[in-house]
Structure 1
Amino acid sequence: MAHTIKSKKQLLTRVRRIKGQAEALEKALERETDCSAVLQQIAAIRGAVNGLMSEVLEGHIREHLGANDISPQQRSEDLEQVVAALRSYLK
């Protein structure tokens, strides 16, 4: 996936931010923090993961499905990969 290599630094920054948010959530639960703060942290993590998914998915679609130099068979296979990933993600 060439598009993930191109934006590797940005993607890793997002992943590290999500990791930090998950660690903060773990600490909040260990400290028995107020549930509204826990819910807010969960929502923040979900938003961060959704943003990451959106960025990688957009890159994948543009790089693989938007390319003019791929065969119809390859485009169909790439489309099926996107559909499978979306189905799994949206469960």
Structure 2
Amino acid sequence: MSHVQENRKKLVTRVRRIGGQLASLERAIDGDEECGAVLQQLAAVRGAVNGLILQVMEGHLRAHVAESGNAKQQDELLPVLGVLRSYLK
């Protein structure tokens, strides 16, 4: 997974941010926060995890599909990435 190694710092930063969001969520639940606030934090965590998934998946597709040298595959990759971005938002 060389593409992950290339982006390791960004990925680790993103994972740490998600960890902070989860810790905040835990404190909110433990502190008996309002349901609306907890749901908002849950949505933020979900968005952050989806962003991480998209970043790793996009790196994988670009490294293993687009760089294979097949021009047709490279052209077909862009719509797939667009669908993934819209789905994981």
- CA positional deviation for 1:26: 0.5
Counterpart of 1:52? 52
CA distance in 2, matches of 1:68, 1:17: 33
CA distance in 2, matches of 1:67, 1:17: 30
CA distance in 1, matches of 2:68, 2:52: 26
Taking structure 1 as the reference length, the TM-score comes to 0.74
CA distance in 2, matches of 1:27, 1:63: 39
Counterpart of 2:65? 65
Taking structure 2 as the reference length, the TM-score comes to 0.75
Structure 2: 5+ residue stretches without partners: 70-87
Instruction: Give the residue type in structure 2 aligned to 1:30.
Output: D
Instruction: Give the residue type in structure 2 aligned to 1:51.
Output: G
- CA positional deviation for 1:65: 1.3
Structure 1: 5+ residue stretches without partners: 70-89
CA distance in 1, matches of 2:8, 2:62: 16
CA distance in 2, matches of 1:67, 1:11: 21
Instruction: Give the residue type in structure 1 aligned to 2:11.
Output: L
CA distance in 1, matches of 2:40, 2:19: 16
Task: Say yes or no: does 1:31 pair with 2:2.
Answer: no
Aligned residues: 72
CA distance in 1, matches of 2:33, 2:67: 49
RMSD of aligned C-alpha atoms? 1.9
SS of residue matched to 1:33: coil
